[in-house]
Structure 1
């Protein structure tokens, strides 16, 4: 585990929480539909894995622990990058975290074989991560779910490619979110309009949180993605 000055954030594979038993990974990961879940600032890997039973049964979910220890007064919480200016963190720190997740995916593929399709779901900082992963290796991800997250300022390696690819992104939020500033919302809307095929939805009353309706819509979004993904051989339900 690293503090807030990492040279290269590393995902702790031992801390990953899976929606299936670890002893089934070797059999299930090859050809699977994998969903990488990334929690928000100050949370942990055991938080959003609770969403797994509400998502398509054929998806294998992996909930990652962010690589940085969130500072006091937060206890037992983690972060993907320093907060910095609200809604506008240092891009290089987010890039470093994204490279850490991509390295973890490389290791997963080396250990077990490649999934048929990989999607991401992130909340808040995790939503920013989901978008930044897309901006590094867009061809790697079948779809992206950004819940109450935001795009990072500046350019990223695959932004020009994304203008043509326009991958599918689900963006759910409350327009009265008390945490994400309007400037970050506007930046995200502008970036998505230019780089993605976006399903943007508002959930009044969610605040900076996730509602049941939002997860139901995210499930439908993932099901639509699965229809166009390859069918893994020997797949079974969760």
Structure 2
């Protein structure tokens, strides 16, 4: 089974190539039926120290759904973990080509959140942390899971209490899986549907500020 690669010509960057240097990179992964322009609107709410790259998923959803997708969805229960892994591998290939040795974190919404977490699972050495908004952990086991259980990298998981898009069994699976494989922080937001609120953005900002502090601490020691 193959998966199309990410198109570098449609990536939105927050700064020019000359300004990137060795700054940490935060890669944004949009949701189903969206594109690289969607989450780029979050840039003003994110720490300036990150170089932000918003990429476009490589698949097209069935007509008439607009935008792009990371993997097919056949009904609410049709999320194939193998397809999520293929999407994660495509993200990793793009990161290797476009980012190089800079420290990388991922922020994904919905389907993009699932891919962000799967990317961390596929290659724990390539991703420092993940922000999963209205997303989930795909089922199955991956070789990187044992590494994550030992290292426990930082993961933020935020979701709305009124979100009826992600099936309850996947929410339950994620609730069980993340505590044993990450340094988990996050919140369930009362009244929030399948979307992002200002309270959640504030929490994400605090999480990202802490990751920058971690990097400074590691450089000092």
**If the length of structure 1 is used for normalisation, what is the TM-score?**
0.87
- Contact 2:72 2:79 survives alignment (8 Å): yes
Q: What are the ranges of 5 or more consecutive residues in structure 1 without an aligned counterpart?
A: 1-5, 232-238
Q: CA deviation at 1:137?
A: 1.2
1:146 partner SS: strand
Query: Which of 121, 141, 153 is the matching residue for 1:135?
Result: 121
Q: Is the 8 A contact 2:59 2:70 kept in 1?
A: yes
Aligned length: 218
Q: 1:144 to 1:209 in 2, by over 3 A?
A: same
- 1:122: which partner in 2? 108
SS in 1 for 2:125: helix
Alignment of 1:111-190 (within 5 A): 113-115=100-102, 117-190=103-176
* Residue in structure 2 matched with residue 55 of structure 1 by the alignment: 46
Give unpaired runs (5+ residues) of structure 2: none
- Alignment match, 1:93: 83
Deviation at 1:87, TM superposition (A): 5.3
Q: Which residue of 2 aligns with 1:74?
A: 65
Query: What residue in structure 1 maps to residue 37 of structure 2?
Result: 46
For 1:3, the equivalent position in structure 2 comes to none
Separation in structure 2 between the aligned mates of residue 87 and residue 48 of structure 1, nearest angstrom:
25
Match of residue 193 from structure 2:
207
Q: For the residues of structure 2 that align with 1:191 and 1:209, how far apart are their CA atoms?
A: 23
Instruction: Kindly provide the CA deviation profile for residues 20-67 of structure 1, in whole angstroms up to 9, marking residues without a partner as x.
Output: 2xxx21x33331110000000011110000001110011110001001
Give 1:236's aligned residue: none
Give the TM-score of the pair, scaled to structure 2.
Answer: 0.93
Report Cα offsets for 1:107-141 as digits up to 9, x if no partner.
114xxx421x2111000000001100110111222
TM-superposed CA distance for 1:88, in Å, is 5.4
2:12, 2:40 within 8 Å by CA — same for their partners in 1? yes
State the match for 2:25 in structure 1. 34
Alignment RMSD: 1.7
Matched residue of 2:213: which SS?
helix
